[in-house]
Structures are given as structure tokens and as C-alpha cells.
Structure 1
Amino acid sequence: MDSVQTLYQTIFKTDESDPLALQACKMALEAEKEEHKGLVRSIDAATILSDLKLDRDTLIATLISDMGLEQRYPIEKISDEFGDHIAQMVTGVRRLNHFKEFHPATTSNEVQTERLRQMLLAMTSDIRIMIVKLAFRVARLRTLKNEPEAIRQQIASETQFIFAPLANRLGIAQLKWELEDLSFRFLQPDTYKEVARQLDAKRLGREAYIQGIIDSLEEMLKDSGIEHHISGRPKHIYSIWKKMSRKNVPIDELFDLRAVRIYVDTVQQCYEVLGMIHSRWPYIKEEFDDYIANPKENGYQSIHTVIIGSENKTVEIQIRTYEMHRHAEFGVAAHWRYKEGGKSIDPALEQSINLVRQMLEYNDNPDLLNEISTELLTEHIYVMTPKNEIITMSKGSTPLDFAYQIHSELGHRCRGAKINGKIMPLTYQLNTGDTVEILSVKGGTPNRNWLNPNLHYLGSSRSRAKVRHWFNQQNKEANTESGETLFNKEARRLHAEHISAEEVAERFKYEQLDEFYEALGKGQINERQLTNAIQKLIKPEEDKPQARPPSFPPEESAEPGKAFVIGAPRLKTTIAPCCEPTENDQIVGYVTRGRGVTIHKKECPNILNLTFEEQKRLIEVAWYNAEPQETTYEATLQILAFDRKGLLRDIMMELTQWDINVNNSDTRTDKSDGSVSMTLEIDVEPHTNMGELLDQLEQIQNVVSTSVNLNKQQAS
């Protein structure tokens, strides 16, 4: 029998001819002839997977994933010879074999290491690829003693932090124990040897005692009619050391140092056997665990109990079905994926995981195997910064989302992105494994188009919130500045410059001065309330001659043809030369920069054409010897938004809360991009704070911008 046939029978355990499997064996033997220091041979990994009873395609893919074959057998050639499915698996294995630049030395903390574990899983299109990678890692550790110390430390550390936890999450006990023990042996050789020495020192006596317990169990179960199998349970050095460290006890005081395992056919039989054991021996209640009723996170199921045998020695007994044992030894491939925070799995995910649990049991069903992949990992992707830091993001995220996740300012200034070294549009959907570099400009600001859900600039609600906050912040700064101006003017009018804004803010229950100014600028605190608050802080001996109510001017100033600012009658006013209003005209004031307030007709073209920001400088005025008229004025409200169900309803509800009557509306939709342009004819009260109204309208979902213009005629 030649070497190819021998390897074929060793790996595939069959005498039936399989040309593709034979070809894979031949290629693996060819690669083994080449000397590569530190290179793990695919034959070693395939042997491990054969013991795990992996399917034919996985074993073939493992054999031809030898790194010595990469140059001679590119993926295109493998696809031609073995088919697309095996070629895809080889691509995944090769990808992970080149994943060596990421190890715990590059991670800043435990969170980053956890992200790396998740990324390794997410990078594979088929969960079996990850199992193959674990087999390669076990084979690597078996030969690690011949490597320099620095390499031993790096690979052992990487194994302990990344690959052993992955094997545990996948539930593959056969790989987990060896990964843990071998990495522990290289990381803490002295401790490893000491634990091993203590185990070996009393090995014969311990084995004899366990055999006595097994004999007693066999005698007890002989007449029960329950088909069963009993064996001693192997102990693993790393696990023992962890328990000694966690409980701070010597090795002889560990309850499960002596352990046996009972296998039966059904769950009911598990509990029947448990009842017999507890009737025969006393047990330690605190050490009882029912993992059948409450499985571990990786799907592990078994009953654990600790009994007190002869000589007052403790023995751990595990009871499980044969199916549970296969599951524990061979593993599941997604049960670890709990939602963030350790919450329970939803039913849809549980159904998907049940399919994965069958992977190793039903390895003769190729169609089922093809369906099992890490598409189960649908909630997150894992991308990298240019410095190889891994960032967890929601699936569907864009480069713009990435920029905002790094820092809000980077998001605001983002103007482009390089994905894996190539410039891509900001609407590009990121994939796991992408390296993202953000291109930004100094002083850049967000674009309102980013909020358009139809343009797909942002996939994260958190990013959209940051963009909205930026736009709201711009209005906040304007309101804060306006409020500060109003306070200072009113303090001067009342000759109360010695009263601090902080004192007044405290009366209104504002802890932050900026919040007080903003509320004043928005009109949430009106001028009468501000006047009363300041006056209550003026001590009686400090009172000046009573200032008139803000609606009336001082008598000495009552001159025909002059106007005053309601609420601040001492402010200098000037008749605007552009429209020259007279006492018969409806007027409005405009706060200039350094030249007081100019008085305009309300229908003055210069007033009607003010920008949104300039409109905030308008102020209510009146003619001397005339009470301010509480009239309403017609205005045109312009709203730009992106269409959605209920948009018009939400806008109308907001206007109703402001007691604004809508006389007419015109809505136009652009079907090419889903944008909506609304023109509403409304009646506006003189005291309506239009800046605050527009702010509130822009808080409505999908509203992009708003503006308002006063019409020429007074509303009837």
C-alpha cells in the first residue's frame, strides 16, 4: 500500500475510492516534502479533525490548505479541480492562517481581545473553517517546544486569550482542553509541572478508588434495566489549576479530583440514575448543578453531583446522554452568540443554532452542511482602523458611521474614505475585515443630505442623532446669544446691572447659565417673567423711581411720530429710510449691530427678504400713545423633508400645539429621491417665537430644513 492510500484510509477511514480525497492526500504529501520552519502541516490538522469526525469536504479542504501549496495552487486552480464549495473553504482557511499580525500584544484591553475573537468567527463564511483553524493551532502547539522562547510565549499567549475561548464557545471540548493545557505549559512551565507532579503522586491510589466507585455504580445499575456506560473522567491540568486558584485550596481539597461519568440513552434515565445515586450516598448540595435543565452558554448539558464515599472522600459524578456527550466533545458552532449583555437567545436564533448542533452528527448530509455558516452573526461587523484597532459596528454601517463612531468631530469633518486602500463613496456598506481610513477637511460641517434615509449615508441611528444634534446646536448658540442680549437690556432698563444673571437663572431653576440664556432666547421665559424676577432681587433701599411696565414708554419720551421697543422703551430707535413708516403703519423693529433698533413697515421688502438667522433679530415695537395691537399676521412656512407615512400629521400636530392656524397647504413630492417640499400659509401671533417653532419642526423625523416669511397683509 503506497503512502497516499495509507494517508487516505487514516484520514477518511474508508476503503471506498474517492478521487478528490485521494488527490488531496497526494497534494498534502507533496507539500510535506518541503521544509518550512515553524509551518504546521495540513496532514497533522486533518488527522485531528478526522478524530472529531468532520465531514469529507472539510477534511479535503484542510489537506489542501497547507501553506506550502499556496504558490502552486491558487484558488482558481483549486476551484477547477475541487469545485467552488471546497475552494471557498480553502480561501477561508488561508485567510485565517495569515491572521498572525493580530495577537494580544496589539490589543489594548479585554474588550479589544473579545472583539478579535468575534472577528475571527465573523471572517469565516462557514463555521467549519474556524474549526479547521483550531485544529491547525493544536498541531502548532504540539511542535512548539522546538521554537525560540519568544515565539513560544507569543503563540501560547495568543492561544490562551483567543483560540481556547473560541473552542469553548464552539463547545469543542477535545480541542479546548488541549489548547488550554499546552498553552499553560509554555506560559507557566513551573506551575504546570508542579500541578502535574501532584496529580501523578497519588495517581495509582486515586485510580483504584475511582474503580471502586465504578464497580459500586455498576452493581447498583445492574438490575435497573437501564442501558449505560461508566468511565473515569480525565482531569486536565489547566482546569485543575484554575479551580485551585479560584477557590484558594490545595489540590487534595478539590471535590472533582476524583470523577466518573455515566452515559445513558434518555433524559429521563439521567434523572432516574441521579435518584439512585442520591439514595445510595450522601451528597454536597452546594456542588449540585443541573446543566440539562439549565445548559451552559455553549450548549453544554449534563448533571453534576458530588457524593461523599468511603473514607470521607468526595467524588464528582456526571450523568448525561450519549447525544449530550457527542455534543460536549464535538461542539456546537454558535450557541455562544448571546445578545449583548448576556440576555437569552431569541427563538429565531435558537432555531438556527439547532441546525448548527447537527453539523457533526449528520456529517453525511452535504446539503445541510452547506447551509450552516456564520451568517448567524447578523448583528455586527468588525472593521479595522489603519492602526489595526478593531471596531465593532452594526451591520449596514457606512464609512460615515465609522467616522462618527471614532469621534463626533471626525464625522462632522468627513468628506471621503479609503476602504482597503481604495477611495470609496460614503454610502459604501462596510464588511467585516475592511480597513477604513477617513478623509477629512479642516473646519468641515455636516451636510443635511446625510439625514436623508433614501440616500443611505448613515446606517446607524446613533450617527443620525449626532448629525441632528449638530444642527440643533447651531440654533442653540444663536438663542443663547439672543437671550444674553435680552437679559442685559432688561437689567439696564431696570437700573439693575448689579443683579447677576446667575441669581436670576437660579430663580428659574436653571443650574447652567447657558441653559437660562437659551430659554430666554427661545421665548420659554417671556419678558414679563424676566422683569418680575429681576425686580424681586432688587432690595427696597436700592429701588430707583419705578420703571413703567415694559409695554409703555416714559412720558418724557412721548413724542408724536416716534416708536419704542416693547419691553425696552429706552433703547434708541430710528425710522428706517428704506420704507419710512408713519403712525398709521404696522411696524416691526430690527436690532442692528451698534446702531440701536431701526423701525420698518412690516411689509418692507427688506424685512420680508431677511434670512432665517436675520429674522431672529426682529423685535416687537409700537408707536407712542398707542397700545400694541394683538393682531395676527399671515406668513408662509416652507418645509423640506423626506417622505414617510404620517409626516404631514406630525407637522400639523406640532403647529396645533403652537395654536397656529393653517389656511392653505401645498405639498409636492419628488419621486426620484423621495424629497417633499411643503408650503403652508399660516396665521402668526405677534409674540410667537418663530425661531423656537422652526427648531421644533426640525426635530420631527425626516424634516431637513424650515423657513418662514411674513406676508404683506395683516390677517383678518
Structure 2
Amino acid sequence: MPNLNKPITPQEKKDILQSYKSLLNASEAIIQSGDVKMIREAIAVSLQKATNIRRISGTPALLHSLEIARIVVEEVGLGRTSLICSLLYDVLRNGEISIEEIREQFDDHVVLIMEGLHKVADLYNRNTSIKSENFRKLLLTFAQDVRVILVIIADRLRTMRTLERYDQQSQEIISSEVAYLYAPMAHRLGLYTIKSEMEDLVMKFTNREMYKFIAKKLNETKRAREKYISEFIAPLKKELAEQGLDFDIKGRTKTINSIYHKMRKQNVEFEQVYDLFAIRIIIDTDIKREKAECWKVYSIVTDKYQPNPSRLRDWLSVPKSNGYESLHTTVLGPNHKWIEVQIRTKRMDEIAEKGLAAHWRYKGIKSERGLDQWLTNVREILENPEVNAVDFIDDFRLNLYDEEVFVFTPKGDLRRLPKGATVLDFAFDIHSEVGKKCVGARVNQKNVSIKYELRNGDQVEIQTSSNQEPKRDWLNVVSTSRARTKLKQALRDIEYKEAEIGREMLARRLKNWKMELTDQLIGQLVKHFRYKSVHDFFRDIAEDNLDAVAVKEYILKEREKEKELAESQLAGRSAENFVTPTEHEEEAGQDVLLIDKNLSNVNFQLAKCCNPIFGDDIFGFVSVTGGIRIHRKNCPNAPDMRQKYGYRIVPARWTGEAGGSYLAALRVTGEDDIGIVTNISQVVSKDMGLKMRSINVNSHDGVFEGTLSVFVNNKQLLNTLMKKIKNIRGVFDVSRFDAV
């Protein structure tokens, strides 16, 4: 691990100075006289707070901050507010400066973004997993102000560029996160250059051999490729110049990652990938003449080279939702090679390179609306409390990498949906109520089912019925996150209503038979009739799939069993086994569940979350699936159960003599010594005569930490065992461990 207290070296000072100069050059066009002071203050804070701070990689934090700021300005295209926030982000993350201090020195715009960045840093400090609810909060923070996510993307890009300085485990974790979240986000926000670089760098650290192989091949074929590009471009340059167009034309090699995916998708070798590079023609013209001149260039290209009509992509007429505008065609070049040609204007190229940020320089451009719509959809998914963490991630990712189709309403309004969207997706896109009542559609004047997959240019008229209700198999029909989220919510509402009707029906029938429907009884019924959930049980009651008479018969049989058991126990109970309730229990006037080794008329289990043993202070908890779970009073889940489900708590205590065998777990820490496991095993097996189920030991920096699972008869015996283990030479501490 790098020395994080190491002083700044002379070379690092040069790097910091060079980065500072690059930042000033990059930001020259965006800062005004009034901004200079604020930017200098931000740099001064970084200099003051981060001079001797290093990141985990060993890189000086100040250099990292300057590079993030340069990326934000030069490669993302953001303004002075984001520049300032980039400079402050690392010192805020390291706790060297507080939000209160930032509020005192900077304006409200800076404070707003820094508050978002502070939330992100806080969540990362908790080691947020993508399968946790904290991850939802992370993305929700992103969605509040897009500049927050753009600064984080810049930070991740800088980290990826210096990833060789991290250990291998960190490389894998960071690469996985970038591949899963940040590269797709960069794609959705139109940052294609950053997205492509991120994907290449991820491949560099996760698929090293293939990355090196393709990089080597590209280097070997570089000279031939450049010669071919020159031959292809020459006649186009001449014709474009003769037409009086102001243009720039260049060839670019496709990324290593995209070449690798082509090799996999087409199942071919490197030499068989025909489109290793693309030609880009960028024209400088007024916004009013953009489309006309792009099509003019298209005409010149296709006059010179034979086009492939099936490979024409027109994102001029209808831009992508992330603002991307361009005209793509594939033509047959010299030596019968297919070449992709991209035609766009200077404005379109800047938006393609810098995505969302570039829109702020061109006001009134209609494609900006698509980004706002996407962010609105993201917020809807994020703010839906009904979706669990795993489903939520699946729904969210549906919004990231999708290609798009464009369809029309009967009035001619354009709707943008992901490729693969169905009629049912379209119905939910219009309104959730339309989706829930959808029975089909008329597409291009022809009747189609809800499963029909939409195509570019389709005119769609949704057909509804007041009798229609959402069905669970519709989840196999929809493909958009919006439709899936709305559909799941509708299905839950239906199930809840049906379950409530079933509960009322059963409660009413039982009341007529002088019986009461309690939570404990519900749990027993669900278990006896083998239902997965209470909702399923009550829904079958409502739909007459389960007769209430069968429930009545079960209750009567159970009452008869309990009566017979009580009579037999009363007759056979001896005076020495009789337990007199304590004064406290009599005064409280409540029943206490007495847990005895011979107890057989109550369905109970010892909870695995805290593993109670004879002698522990305990309580009972009525489980939804039936029966009672016995927990220790200091169980880690106890506060939550008491707060949310206090009505299901049953007082309980042990009675009779200790008996049986209870599984308990201990956590042991101490000096890392070869004989420590043997000594512990000897105390358990030989000295105490106990049966050990397992022992696991891990060591780090000369200290071991082990978990020991052992069977004991009671708490007193466990306490004795803990004392004996603690007396072993080299053992620091022994404590009860809840999870076995």
C-alpha cells in the first residue's frame, strides 16, 4: 500500500504545475472577471487543505482535483460552477472542509452541487453495494442536479486513467462499478468519447490478454490503415471543396472494446472485422442550413461510393433522447471494403462529444427535451418505494443503453421508446390508466395485440376496455422500465384489494361460528394449507379456491387436540414440575409462554439471528408463516420487531431443567499463533467435553479472528467455556456471536 504521508516529490510538483496551467488554458473561455476570484479561492482551499494529502493510489489529492476540474471543463464542457466544485470535491470527501465552510465562502449554486457531492461521498464511505437501498439514494442524488453526476463521471474517468497505481482487488472493484454504472450513464448523457474510453480502460484491467492482443494488432496495421483512409478521403475532399463547403474530414479507429464485441458478436477473428475505422465529415454552417447541408454531403459521398441502404441511420430528423444528432451511412470503398461515414455539423459534433453540457450553449434546441424526459423517468423509478433493490437496479439499467424507436400517436405526436418496446409499453408511456385498460391497438390501421413490437414510423392508436385488468404475465410483454414499474404497482394494488376482501370474508364467517381470526391463527392457517404468503391465502379465500368450511374444520380439530393435550398434561403433571407465576406476571395479568424441553403443544423455533440458549432472557415473536420464533431480548432485530410489530410479541421465559443441546457461536480474537486453533479445540472437546460443529480462523497483520460454533446445554455452561478460552495464552477477547 502506498505511503499516504509521503511528501510531494519534485516531479509531482511539476505535474501539479502543469495540470494547473492546463486548467487555466481550458477554462479561459468560460471565466469572466468576476469568476476569477471565486476560482482562485477554490484553488487556494485545495492548496491549503490538500497539499500533503494523498489518495489510496498514492497520487497527490491536489493533482487529482486539478485533473478532475480540467476534465469537467475541457472534456465534459461544463462551466465555472462545476469547475469550482471539482476543485473542492476531494477535500470535502476527505473531511478537510465542511459544507458550512463552503457556504461561507461560495455562492448558492456551488453549495447546491457540493451538497449533492457530499451525499455521494457519504454513501461511498458506507461501501454502498449496488444491491442495497443506499444505492438508490446514490442515484437519486445524481438525478437532483445533473452536474453532480457529471463531476462524479469526471472523477471516475480520472481514477480509471490512473488505475495501474491501485492494487489488483481495487482495480477489479472500480472497473466493475464503472462498467456497470458510469460507462452506461456517460452513454445515456451523450458523452460518447468518455464512455468509449471508460469501456476500453475497464477491458484493460479485466480482460488484459485480449486487450493487449487487439492493441498489438491495431499497432501492426496502423500504417496500412492510415494509407487506406487517405485514399478514401482524397476524392471526397476535392468534391466538398468544389461545392464551397466549410468542412473538416478525418478518420478514426474504433475502440478496442467495440472491436472485441464485434469479434464476439460476429464470431470472427481480428482480421475478419471489416469496419475497424470510420470516416467523420464535420461541416461548419448555420443552424438553419444544418440539415440541408448534411444531406448535400451525404449525396456527394454516395455519388462517389456505393451505399448500403440498410445501414442508413438518420438522427437528423429525430435526434436520440440524449441529444445525439448525426447522419450515418456505410459505403463500399476501395478494395471492396465497407466503410462507415458519419456526417454532422460542428454544433452536432460538440454535442456528440460533450453530451448534455453542450446543450447549455445552444438554447432552443429541441433535443434537450428528451434529456429532461429521461431524468423525469429516472426519478419516477428512484422514488418508487415499492420496488426492492434488485428489481430497482434491473429497471434502472433498462433506461441506460437502449437503442430507440420513434412512433406516432393518431394526432401525429412523436413518442420515443426503447428498441423492443411493445404496444403495452406504448400504452403505459401515455398514461398508467391507459396501460392498465389496454386490450390491443391499431397500428398503421391494422389491429394488433398488446405483444406487437413497435417499429420506426408506426402510427399507434391504443384500444382500451373498462373491464380489462392488468395480468401478471404482462411482465413478460413489457420491456421499458416505466411500464414495468407501473405494472408491478398495479398488480400489487389488485393483490392487496383481493387479500383484504378475503380477510373480511373469512373474519365474518368465523364470527358467525363464534371464532376469532387472530394473527397467530392466520400464521397457522397459512402453514397448514401450504401457502407462500398471507396474501396468497386470503386471495384464494376471496376467489373461492379455498372453502371457509375447510378452515373451520381445521380450527375445530386443533381445538380438540389442545383440549386432549391439556387434560393429559394436567393429569400427569407432578408438584415438583409445577411453575408458579411470579408476582410481576400475576399483576401484569398477561400470559407468559413457558419454554421447556418437553413442550410439545406449541409450534416454536429458536431464531437463527440470535441463537438463544437455555438461560438467556427471551421473548416470543408470532411469525407470519406460522408458529412462534424465540429470540434473545438483546437480539439485534429486537428493537425493530418491537417498534413495527409490537402486537406480535409474546412474553416468554425458560422453565424446568436445562436440557437438550443448543447451538451457540463465539467470536475469538488474539495473537496469530500456529497452535492457537489446537488449544481452543482442546478446551472445547477435552476440558469441557462439548461437541464442536465448526471453527473458522482468519489472520491479518499478526492478529487472528475466529468464529467457533459449539453445542451447549445452557448459558452457564457457555459462560464457563468463554472464560476458559479467554484464559488461553494469546487470546485477547471472546464474545457471543449472533449469526451461526
Q: Give the TM-score of the pair, scaled to structure 2.
A: 0.47
Between structures 1 and 2, the one with greater helix share? 2
Flag the structure with larger Rg.
1
TM-score in terms of structure 1 length: 0.49
